[in-house]
Amino acid sequence: MIPAREIDEWTLREWELLEGYAIEGNAFLSPNFILPALKHLTPDSNPWVMLVERQDESFPRLVGVGVFEEQATSTLMPLPHLKSYQCILSFFDGLLVEESCAPAVLDAIFQWMAKNSDRWHGLSFRSRSLNSKLDRELTEAANRNGVVWHLDAEHERPMISLNDLPHDVLTDLYSRSRRKTIKRNWRRLERHGDVEFRVGTDASESAARIEKFLQLESAGWKSDEGTALALIEREKDFFSEMVGQFSQRSHAVFGELVVAGQVVGSSINLISGSTGFAFKIGREAEFAAASPGTLTDFALLKSCKREFADLTAFDSCAKPGSYLEGIWPWRLQVGSGLFATSHRGKAFSSTMMHLKRVKRGIAEAMRNV
């Protein structure tokens, strides 16, 4: 465990390498996300970076990474524990773990927590994957090491499963009504000129595309609410630096819907391992009647097999109820909860979770009265 602001060059390089072959890609655990977030969004925070190394022949190699903050108490655990680091623009957490040695890495993490049970009594996550390869490895490691997982809440969010994409996405994935809406809106755009969707990863063009995205986002409803990135200096600076760093590795994907040479929809997507993450989207307010944001996301899905042959999934990072539920038909299960790793932690967290279930039951009963 070392403070995030004390990461050296070797660790940084190994961290970036691990991200590429982890059992589960996670752009929000990339050093290219974490370090700009610490700089611009949480300058007063200095989380711990948990590192698991493996000695290969004559040199060490990084095979596990987690980023955590100390938490004195929470609704999950009334004792000190570690919670996954998240900033205002984090949409996923968990661990980066090399797939080839995942059981050993997770055993090492839980055993290290047990040795430090006088200081920390658990690991909490706010949005980690469920029913995934990593989740299964975590469950098996927890069982081996006497660790208890308490699931607090879960939800589903839209995703694209590239292995399941049909040849004709419009016909095979959507209802007749949805197909008519997509075609009608596409024709609305075509009245203004030729329509095309283009995907860009060229680092030399990233600055211009970032600027165009910020313009589009700030021209829409987010500007009225005051939540557009361009209106909040620290978020704009973070976004520009973070996307720029992903671009240097060709891991920032700009999906642009273009009408007569004008960008009317722009999505910013981050690549980590074999997974894409839909981070942000902006659309031109002038073309709002044609739903350019929805068409941009549809066009991204349609282009996946052509443009992203190395990926297996695209995570929408969307909240429940998002319009993307009608565009990206597959679902990713995400949950929050806590691994209780000490004897006291197991006892107290079990009590806390029981009380939460009772409160939720009472609240549900009151709503049905």
User: Which pLDDT tens digit goes with each residue over 17-44?
Assistant: 999 999 999 999 999 999 999 999 999 9
- In the beta sheet, which residues pair with residue 262? 259
Question: pLDDT value at position 94?
Answer: 98
pLDDT digits (tens, 9 = 90+) for 351-365: 888 888 878 778 777
Q: Helix (H, G, I), strand (E, B), or coil: what is residue 26?
A: coil
Range list for CATH 3.40.630.30 in the chain: 2-155+334-367, 160-332
d(CA 25, CA 116): 28
Question: pLDDT value at position 366?
Answer: 75
Backbone angles phi, psi at 79, to 5 degrees: -130, 160
| CATH code of domain 2-155+334-367 | 3.40.630.30
Cα distances from 178 to residues 168, 173, 191, in angstroms, run 14, 9, 20
CB 264 within 8 A of CB 284: yes
CB 288 within 8 A of CB 294: no
d(CA 233, CA 109): 37
Question: pLDDT value at position 357?
Answer: 82
Query: Could you say which residues of the chain have pLDDT below 70?
Result: 57, 221, 223-224, 369
Q: Name the DSSP class of 319.
A: P
In the block, residue with structure tokens 């429940």 = 320
DSSP string over 65-80 = EEEEEEES--SS-SS-
d(CA 44, CA 35): 13
Domain 160-332 in this protein, CATH class? alpha beta
